[in-house]
Amino acid sequence: MSTTPGIDVSRWQGEINWNAVAAAGYRFAVVRATIGNYYTDPRFYENWNGARGAGVLVSAYHVVAPDRPADSQIDRFFDVLGARKSDLPLVLDIELSHDISPADITACIKDCAHKVEQRDGRKPIIYTAGWFWNNQVLESPEWSAYDLWVANYGVSAPSLPTGWSEWKIWQYSDKGQVPGIAAATDLNWFAGSHDDLLAYANVEPEPEDEPQPDAGLRARVVASRVNVRSGPGANYSDIGDLYRGAVVNVVSLDGKDVWVEFEPGKWAALTFHGTRYMELE
């Protein structure tokens, strides 16, 4: 399976050099925004803007507090987001129980997920781990409709929570060392290539650069033959020949008479001692 690397961050990572993160090859970042209806991550805006500015695909996550009303939790989440639109679907982080029954936890998760979908237009990604989900959340055929972001460390393949047969993102470490970040950082794989990630985010891949025609001066050889020298003068070494009809790009003009450099370190006479050897085009 092709995979694409990404990270998730919160205030615990401190100040981040996002250009260094992007240069190291991390293609997406999920930034903590809120917890329950009572907490906003103080580095959310800094991290969101930094990731976006560095060209990293970005999303935000909300940590569900099952003892708080879903309405007020999702209101706070979207109040913090404001007009920001995430590249990847928004995320609900499911890892708190707050001594609430599995039935009540399940009801709160469903309510939060429905409200995020209503307001964002996309189903949220569910972040969780098997050790929590399988003990605290009731089974439902509804869960498989949500993409899974699973946390499972120190294994070659993640163990999936009940209700899913595949993962979209795998958080495989919470102790990663990432250029541009001093603190340990959560490391993730997206299940697919970079193009798959762009498609998931509804972002068009950038077209490959096409060769562009030269827009500078050209010179055509009009003499039967002209020497190619290593510098702009007859005193430089003879390193080859150009023949009538040959066309070269003019990189620079120099010399006592007029010499053209058409490739680095290769010069020919445009005019020499009153004789024209080449014409500009």
Which one, of 47, 61, 50, lies nearest residue 116 by Cα? Answer: 61
Dist. CA 265–CA 272, nearest whole Å: 19
**Does 254 qualify as catalytic in the annotation?**
no
- Give the number of other Cβ atoms within 10 Å of residue 166's Cβ: 10
Which one, of 5, 70, 59, lies nearest residue 32 by Cα? Answer: 59
Single out the catalytic residue among 41, 93, 147, 261.
93
Condensed to tens digits (0 to 9), the pLDDT of residues 143-177 reads 999 999 999 999 999 999 999 999 999 999 999 99
DSSP structural state of residue 166: -
**Domains of the chain from N-terminus onward:** 3-200 (3.20.20.80), 218-280 (2.30.30)
pLDDT of residue 62: 98
Which one, of 244, 245, 234, 217, lies nearest residue 268 by Cα? Answer: 234
Single out the catalytic residue among 46, 75, 95, 117.
95
Single out the catalytic residue among 8, 87, 147, 261.
8
Condensed to tens digits (0 to 9), the pLDDT of residues 15-59 reads 999 999 999 999 999 999 999 999 999 999 999 999 999 999 999
Dist. CA 17–CA 252, nearest whole Å: 41
Condensed to tens digits (0 to 9), the pLDDT of residues 248-270 reads 887 776 666 787 777 777 888 87
- Give the number of other Cβ atoms within 10 Å of residue 261's Cβ: 19
